[in-house]
Amino acid sequence: MKPRDRLRIAMQKSGRLTDPAQELLARCGLKFRQSRDKLFCFGEGEPVDLLLVRDDDIPGLIAEGVCDMGIVGRNVLREYQYSHPEEGVALDELRPLGFGRCRLSIALPQDEAYDSPSQLNGQRIATSYPGLLGEWLRSNGVGAKVVYLAGSVEIAPRLGTADAICDLVSSGATLVANQLRETAILVESEAVLAGRSELPTDERGEIAELLLRRLDGVIQVRDSRLILLQAPRDALAEITSLLPGLPVPTLTAVDGAPDQVVVQALCAGSVSWRQLEDMKRAGARDMLVLPVEKMLA
């Protein structure tokens, strides 16, 4: 294969992960020219190109070296690693991305009680995740039959082709609609940036590091708020103890008011009205809560 001097990232062409993945890359400063066949998107500005594919193909494309990284559900990455143990060891979860959250769970017909994995002994379990389910059954010492289905797993118990299912759940509405109940959780999933355990040693390695730094800057502050307020010096201890996440604030003197300071702090998570009102009661005023777009330490 010809060496590449541009980084190539695979992402889902059309599905739940497409929009949030595209938005995340845009926030990292990456722009793409969309090609007509929409399989390959040339990156403008940074030397990073996109490959738009089915999510299930992403781990294999990384393992084969066609792509350097990919944005894919942890469920799909782990399934590949269990079902392709040789190629799978070279792959890693580089960063969790905080969207596409769901669970891979076992679900049983609603009227069946569940108390432990051992009750699945001898049962037929339908799934699109035979690798992950097989591993869970082995580690729990359960002998069940894995029935592979590529899709519509949730109707298998009603059709009589399985006794239970192992499928992705987010709100649980699909399970309820099919008279099923979630029991054991096998994987807590979200979208991840997947890549080879070792970054490329050529120019692509440097581009990958740049991308990871930018991603960290976006992810770290995505749920953060910058809070600005003015406070009397003697109320400072109480007010800073009320700041969500207890950040270390920066203090600035106020000209002409030696008993006052301006407090600036980066809070993890949102700041509620209740918290602002508590700080106001403690003496704070002119409070501003601002979203944070980027951070480079």
* Site residues for ligand ATP per CB under 6 A: 12, 15-17, 54-56, 73, 75-76, 100, 102, 168, 170, 189
100, interface contact from ligand ATP, Zn ion, none, CB < 5-8 Å by kind? ligand ATP
Length of the chain equals 297
Q: What share of the chain is helix, strand, coil (3-state, %, to 5)?
A: 35, 35, 35
Q: Which does 189 bind (CB under 5 to 8 A by kind): ligand ATP, Zn ion, none?
A: ligand ATP
Exposed, middle or buried: residue 169 (CB in 10 Å: 0-12, 13-18, 19+)?
A: buried
Q: Which is nearer to Zn ion, 168 or 287 (CB)?
A: 168
Q: Could you tell me the smallest distance in angstroms from the CB atom of residue 42 to ligand ATP? A: 22
Which C-beta is closer to Zn ion: that of 12 or that of 183?
Answer: 12
**Residue nearest ligand ATP, Cβ-based:** 73
Nearest distance in Å: CB 277, ligand ATP? 36
Please give the Cα distance from 186 to 117 (Å, whole number). Answer: 11
Q: Residues with Cβ < 8 Å from 126, sequence gap 6 or more?
A: 147, 148, 149, 153, 156, 157, 161, 162, 164, 165, 166, 167
> Which residues fall within 8 angstroms of residue 36, CB to CB, at 6 or more apart?
none
Contact of residue 43 among ligand ATP, Zn ion, none (CB under 5-8 Å per partner type): none
- Ordered alpha helix ranges (H), the chain: 18-27, 58-63, 74-83, 85-88, 130-139, 156-159, 173-177, 203-222, 236-242, 273-281
Find which of Zn ion, ligand ATP, none residue 168 binds, CB within 5 to 8 Å per kind: ligand ATP
Which residues from 39-58 bind Zn ion, rule CB under 5 A? 55-56
Question: Cβ 64 to ligand ATP, closest distance in Å?
Answer: 18
| CA triple 124-187-173, angle to 5 deg | 75
217 binds, among Zn ion, ligand ATP, none (CB under 5 to 8 A by kind): none
Contact partner at residue 102 from ligand ATP, Zn ion, none, CB < 5 to 8 Å by partner kind: ligand ATP
Q: How far is the CB of 98 from ligand ATP (least distance, A)?
A: 12
Question: Which CB, 46 or 55, lies closer to Zn ion?
Answer: 55
List the structure tokens of 230: 């003015």
The binding site for Zn ion (CB under 5 A) comprises 55-56
